[in-house]
Amino acid sequence: MTRSLTRRRFVLALGGLSGAALLAACGQSEPTPTAAPASGSTAASPTVALASGTGTTSPTAPAVVQNTGSKVKVLYWGSYSGTLGEAEQALVQRFNESQNEVELEYQYQGSYEETAQKLTQALAAGTTPDVVLLSDVWWFKFYLNDILLPLNDLFAANGIDTSDYVDPLIEEGTRQGTVYWVPFARSTPLFYYNKQIWQEAGLPDRGPATWDEFVEWSGQLVKREGGNTTRYAFGHPSAASYIAWLFQPVCWQWGGRYSDPDFTIRIQEEPAVEAGRFYLASVRDGMAVPSQDLVADFVNGAVAAMMASTGSLGGILRSASFPVGTAFLPEGPAGFGCCTGGAGLAILKNKPQEVQEAAFRWIAFATSPESTMWWSQNTGYMPVRKSAIASAEMQRYFEENPNFKTAVDQLPKTRPQDAARVWIPNGDQIIGKGLERVTVQQEDPATVFADVAQTLEREARPVVEQLKRREG
Amino acid sequence: MERSLKVLEQQRTVATPVRSDEQAAASRLRRILGERLLFVLFVAPNLLLLAVFTYWPLVVNVYLSFQQWDLISPVKVFVGLENYRFLLGDRDFHEVLRNTVVYTAGTVGGTLVLGLLFALLLDQRLRGIALARSVVFAPYVLSGAAVGIFWVNMLNPRFGVVGQVASWLGTVSPDWLNHPRLAMVAVILVSIWKTVGFATIVYLAGLQRIPQELYEAAMVDGAGALARFRAVTLPQLGPTTLFLVVVSTIASFQAFDLIKVLTNGGPVNATTTLLFYIWEQGFVAFNAGRAAAASVFLFVILAIISLLQVRIGERRVSYD
């Protein structure tokens, strides 16, 4: 009796445990995709994130329950999890409380990649959202297939001057004078360093000016115990964590590039290969380690410095137990180089005009100077409006939080990404896997990049044809 | 004899006095038609489901394998056998096939050998054996994603249990899941850990079905423990083994969740198996044609393996 009970209980308990573990694990990276609550309950439940909003003029929630009958319902697909997801949901809630005409339903879809996958499937099934968050490497695919709504008329109708958007950011989503993709959560790579380790190593409290300087410093940053390295100076992320995005500026700093805008592939050329050799040497010489979870390694002190998105700043500051420093990317032999990144918002074609107009109200709200400031302060993504950056409030915030200012200072020096990464389907992962061959398998960059170039050229062909059909 | 026949004849004519031959034929036809109709009625729902969700996709898949298509564009470009030609000549695809063979052989082999070993151990009458059986079986009921997350944390060289153990041994753990060769070893070991319980239970049932008198006869013939195992246990477990090989092989060809969570197919393509590659080509690279062609390869490979297993089953495995 007791025996059979033990067995059953044991299996049941394990089942329960695994469920709990899964939930907990999901909770780490994925906030429960609670849709924006129906307006009946919104008035009563302001979110925590809202309450802790840092001093921006937050519109107070209406105390009276609104009549939902006349509202236009808009479905929004987003991709943020963890602290970013909380901020995104809070922003949606702010939007819903700020007006009575539109009710935005927020649905979390997973990573940028998963969101694009689901959108593709939704297109086949005819169940698309009205407005969607698309990353730098995905929006172009949907533009090519003529699925995104041209937004110039809606900008004009809403009296929004697109020239107030930061130029390199809005230009990335503009084709032949028409805006399709509005910058929202835009980022650049930043150099993050662990100030505590820096201090112990007796280094000046700043990022290295050049990679050469960093290599010199790395001797003091790497920690070895009995022939084993317990702390590395630097870490390389995996392909899935966008190593191709982070290596891109390094490639530029060596005078190379992935490709020209017309899809001529350049990654196999000498400057890019030389930058690859720098990555190879960093691993071979024991200065850097390839990591599957680089941010966790940094936050736990296993690597002293890393390159990562500005969008990770908020989360890193919250989870690191040591003071975190941010700096411009170090310079290479050919000088400075830095790219933009992140995601923007787009509206789907083939929706009722009323819904499209309502969806644009969300875009206008989410990228308004007030919202972009709030979003930026809560996440680390850059303000996308010039007026927001120049505002007294943002300037004051930068003074108090210099880490947040680094990205904005670096922004004017950035340039748009190479076509091979953002416009060739899966280009990011093709390059990323090539870089894993260098950092993980320690293969010769010359051979690897030649392979990568061949693949990129092959995969670019259909895009070039599609682009001809689309733009003439 | 003759009389009895006559009587029978009489009885028949009495029983069906007005029925002609035509009528009898018609009723037989009706009965047959009725049976057929009933058969169709019973089978149709299932057949319809199979047709809609299995056979039709299969046909569409073959059609897609001749196209170049990004899953969105209204235009599909007919490319003939290009997708197949590409896959046959692609180094990555060769690696994927190799990985699939290694993963399947490693997982199926490991699961069966360990499963038999555990079954032999658990076949003893010892205290706490029920609990031990549950412990061995437990991982099998867990979801692949949960197991994956659990092992990602265990195998983390810096914060995981393996890192801790390595540091007690005065060394540093390799980064199992981010190592060109060890990643596959780790994925196989975790897969075995997850599925060995199933093989154990099935083997246990098989062991307990072996008639005791066979062992007694073998003992009378002077066979030692090892000889008894080789001459009695193994052959008697033949059908069980065949069943396990078939089921585990198909399961490892379909492995996805564990690989997605553990390594995402990496580093580079080190743990990308055929199914994972199909998903990657289809839903990450949006190359429907190439994914479809790779699916046809998977279909053919599985069909051949199933056929081989059935053949071997007929010849080699004794069900006596």
Query: Looking at beta carbons, which residues of chain A come within 8 Å of B70?
Result: 141, 145, 425, 462
What is A282-301 written as a DSSP string? HHHTTSEEE-SSHHHHHHTT
Domain membership of residue B245 (yes or no) is: yes
Q: Do B146 and A4 touch (CB under 8 A)?
A: no
The whole-number pLDDT of residue B28 equals: 85
Min Cα separation A289/chain B (Å): 10
Domain membership of residue B312 (yes or no) is: yes
pLDDT in tens, B258-295: 999 999 998 999 999 999 999 999 988 899 999 999 99
Confidence of residue A206 (pLDDT cuts 50, 70, 90): very high
- Only one residue has tokens 């599985």, namely B302
Searching chain A, which residue's CA lies closest to the CA of residue B134?
A7
Query: Looking at beta carbons, which residues of chain B come within 8 Å of A350?
Result: none
Output A12 or B152, whichever has higher pLDDT: B152
Spatial separation of the C-alpha atoms in residues A298 and A83, rounded to whole Å: 17
Over range A84-94, report the average pLDDT: 94
pLDDT in tens, A110-165: 999 899 999 999 998 889 999 999 999 999 999 999 999 999 999 999 999 999 99
Q: Do B131 and A229 touch (CB under 8 A)?
A: no
The answer to whether the CB of B289 falls within 8 A of the CB of B79 is yes
A165, two tokens: 């958007």
B19, two tokens: 């029925």
Query: Using alpha carbons only, what angle is made at residue A57 by residues A53 and A62, rounded to the nearest 5 degrees?
Result: 90
**Residue B281's domain spans which residues?**
90-316
The whole-number pLDDT of residue A69 equals: 58
Over range A355-381, report the average pLDDT: 95
ipTM over 0.90: no
Q: Across the interface, which of A7, A291, A433 has its CB nearest the CB of B134?
A: A7
Confidence of residue A472 (pLDDT cuts 50, 70, 90): confident
Q: Across the interface, which of B149, B159, B178 has its CB nearest the CB of A300?
A: B159
The whole-number pLDDT of residue A3 equals: 47
Spatial separation of the C-alpha atoms in residues B158 and B164, rounded to whole Å: 8
The whole-number pLDDT of residue B21 equals: 79
Which amino acid belongs to residue B279? W
DSSP three-state, residue A204 = coil
Q: Do B149 and A25 touch (CB under 8 A)?
A: yes
The pTM of the whole model exceeds 0.80: yes
Domain membership of residue B64 (yes or no) is: no
DSSP 8-state assignment for residue A260: -
CATH 3.40.190.10 fits A189-340+417-471, yes or no: yes
The whole-number pLDDT of residue A396 equals: 93
Regions in chain B scoring below 50 on pLDDT: 1, 13-15
The whole-number pLDDT of residue A368 equals: 96
Any idea what the CATH number is for the domain that residue B168 is in? 1.10.3720.10
Query: Looking at beta carbons, which residues of chain A come within 8 Å of B182?
Result: none
Q: Where are the domains of chain A?
A: 64-187+342-411, 189-340+417-471
The answer to whether the CB of A308 falls within 8 A of the CB of A243 is no
Query: Using alpha carbons only, what angle is made at residue B124 by residues B119 and B125, rounded to the nearest 5 degrees?
Result: 140
Name the strand (E) or helix (H) holding A342: strand A341-347
Confidence of residue A375 (pLDDT cuts 50, 70, 90): very high
Min Cα separation A462/chain B (Å): 9
Query: Looking at beta carbons, which residues of chain A come within 8 Å of B268?
Result: 239, 433, 436-437, 440-441
The answer to whether the CB of A302 falls within 8 A of the CB of A323 is no
The answer to whether the CB of B148 falls within 8 A of the CB of B256 is no
DSSP three-state, residue A155 = helix
The yes-or-no verdict on residue A23 having pLDDT over 60 is no
The yes-or-no verdict on residue A220 having pLDDT over 80 is yes
Distance of CA B120 to the CA centre of its chain: 23
Spatial separation of the C-alpha atoms in residues A342 and A136, rounded to whole Å: 6
Q: Across the interface, which of B68, B72, B141 has its CB nearest the CB of A11?
A: B141
Mutation target for B interface from A241, A437, A440, A464: give the one with most B CBs within 10 A. A440
pLDDT in tens, A418-447: 999 999 989 999 999 999 999 999 999 999
Min Cα separation B277/chain A (Å): 13
B170, two tokens: 């005065």
The whole-number pLDDT of residue B237 equals: 92
Neighbour count for residue B124 (Cβ, 10 Å): 8
Spatial separation of the C-alpha atoms in residues A431 and A438, rounded to whole Å: 11
Q: Do B131 and A10 touch (CB under 8 A)?
A: yes
What is A408-465 written as a DSSP string? HHHGGG-BPPPHHHHTSTTHHHHHHHHHHHHHTT---HHHHHHHHHHHHHHHHHHHHH
Query: Looking at beta carbons, which residues of chain A come within 8 Å of B71?
Result: 120, 124
Min Cα separation B61/chain A (Å): 15
CATH 3.40.50.300 fits A64-187+342-411, yes or no: no
Mutation target for A interface from B60, B64, B68, B72: give the one with most A CBs within 10 A. B72
Domain membership of residue B189 (yes or no) is: yes
Q: Across the interface, which of B146, B268, B283 has its CB nearest the CB of A18?
A: B146
Spatial separation of the C-alpha atoms in residues B105 and B103, rounded to whole Å: 6
Q: Do B149 and A147 touch (CB under 8 A)?
A: no
The whole-number pLDDT of residue A48 equals: 33
Q: Fold identical between A64-187+342-411 and A189-340+417-471?
A: yes
Spatial separation of the C-alpha atoms in residues A425 and A384, rounded to whole Å: 26
Domain membership of residue B46 (yes or no) is: no
- Extract the runs of DSSP E, i.e. beta strands, from A160-295: 174-175, 178-179, 182-187, 189-194, 223-225, 228-236, 288-290
> In terms of DSSP bridges, do strands A341-347 and A182-187 run parallel, antiparallel, or are they unpaired?
antiparallel
Spatial separation of the C-alpha atoms in residues A393 and A399, rounded to whole Å: 10
Mutation target for B interface from A138, A292, A467: give the one with most B CBs within 10 A. A292
Domain count, chain B: 1
* Percent of chain A clearing pLDDT 70 (strictly above): 85
Min Cα separation A433/chain B (Å): 5
Q: What are the φ/ψ torsions at residue A236 (nearest 5 degrees)?
A: -110, 130
pLDDT in tens, B102-157: 999 999 999 999 999 999 999 888 888 888 888 889 899 999 999 999 999 999 88
Mean pLDDT across chain A = 86
The answer to whether the CB of A191 falls within 8 A of the CB of A320 is no
The whole-number pLDDT of residue A66 equals: 45
What does each C-alpha distance from B308 to A306, B240, B302, B315, B317 come to in angstroms? Answer: 52, 17, 10, 11, 13
Considering all CA atoms of chain A, what is the largest pairwise distance in Å, rounded to the nearest integer?
A: 78
DSSP 8-state assignment for residue A205: S
Query: Using alpha carbons only, what angle is made at residue A74 by residues A70 and A76, rounded to the nearest 5 degrees?
Result: 155
Domain membership of residue B69 (yes or no) is: no
Query: Looking at beta carbons, which residues of chain B come within 8 Å of A428?
Result: none
What is chain B written as a DSSP string? -HHHHHHHHHHHHHHSSS--HHHHHHHHHHHHHHHHHHHHHHHHHHHHHHIIIIIHHHHHHHHHTTEE--SS-S--EE-TTHHHHHHHH-HHHHHHHHHHHHHHHHHHHHHHHHHHHHHHHHTS--TTHHHHHHHHHHHHHS-HHHHHHHHHHHT-TTTSHHHHHHHHTTS----GGGSTTHHHHHHHHHHHHHHHHHHHHHHHHHHHHS-HHHHHHHHHTT--HHHHIIIIIHHHTHHHHHHHHHHHHHHHHT--HHHHHHTTT-STTTT--HHHHHHIIIIIS--HHHHHHHHHHHHHHHHHHHHHHHHHHHHH----
